[in-house]
């Protein structure tokens, strides 16, 4: 009896894992097809990078129809943290704008292209600590938001 329960548990566990893998593959294919069949090109900004042994996770934001979206891609062979704060080409699906793909090999530096994609230039006050005088100094920067 114990052997049968053990075999049933192992078999059901294997089937569950296979189901998860197939479902994830179908979802990935659905996203890729939606982007390819309803492609819109815009600009996105990388705001975060995480890495471990199995992935390099780039988080980015972009705009479509005046709405802000965030997404991520797991990509290899790019400049890791050096990508943070920079702008890159994005392909998204007009049918499902939350489906997108970033191209870290296509950096965008043209200010008008970045603004036309939905980002705005804003002035921000920042402060910096000077350790020799033990004081903070305030300054203004202009950034894309």
| Report field, pTM of the whole predicted structure over 0.85 | no
- Give CA–CA dist 114/108, Å, rounded: 7
Mean pLDDT of the region 130-143: 85
pLDDT of residue 119: 94
Q: Is the pLDDT of residue 2 over 60?
A: no
Instruction: Write down the pLDDT at residue 19.
Output: 81
pLDDT, mean over the chain = 87
Give the confidence band of 53 by pLDDT, cuts at 50, 70, 90.
confident
Tens digit of pLDDT for each residue in 32-51?
889 999 999 999 999 998 88
Confidence of residue 78 (pLDDT cuts 50, 70, 90): low
pLDDT at position 15: 80
Q: Is the dihedral of CA 29, 105, 91, 141 positive or negative?
A: positive
Over range 119-137, report the average pLDDT: 88
The answer for residues whose C-beta is within 8 angstroms of residue 140's C-beta and 6 or more apart is 123, 124, 125, 126
């Amino acid at each position: 009896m114990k052997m049968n329960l053990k075999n049933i548990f192992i078999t059901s566990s294997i089937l569950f894992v296979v189901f998860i893998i197939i479902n994830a593959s179908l979802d990935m294919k659905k996203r890729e097809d939606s982007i390819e069949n309803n492609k819109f090109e815009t600009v996105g900004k990388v705001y975060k990078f995480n890495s471990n042994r199995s992935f390099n996770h780039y988080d980015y934001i972009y705009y479509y129809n005046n709405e802000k979206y965030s997404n991520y891609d797991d990509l290899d062979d790019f400049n890791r943290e050096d990508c943070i704060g920079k702008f890159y080409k994005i392909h998204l699906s007009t049918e499902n704008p939350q489906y997108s793909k970033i191209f870290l090999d296509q950096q965008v530096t043209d200010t008008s292209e970045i603004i036309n994609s939905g980002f705005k230039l804003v002035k921000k006050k920042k402060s910096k600590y000077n350790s020799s005088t033990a004081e903070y100094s305030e300054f203004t920067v202009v950034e894309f938001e």
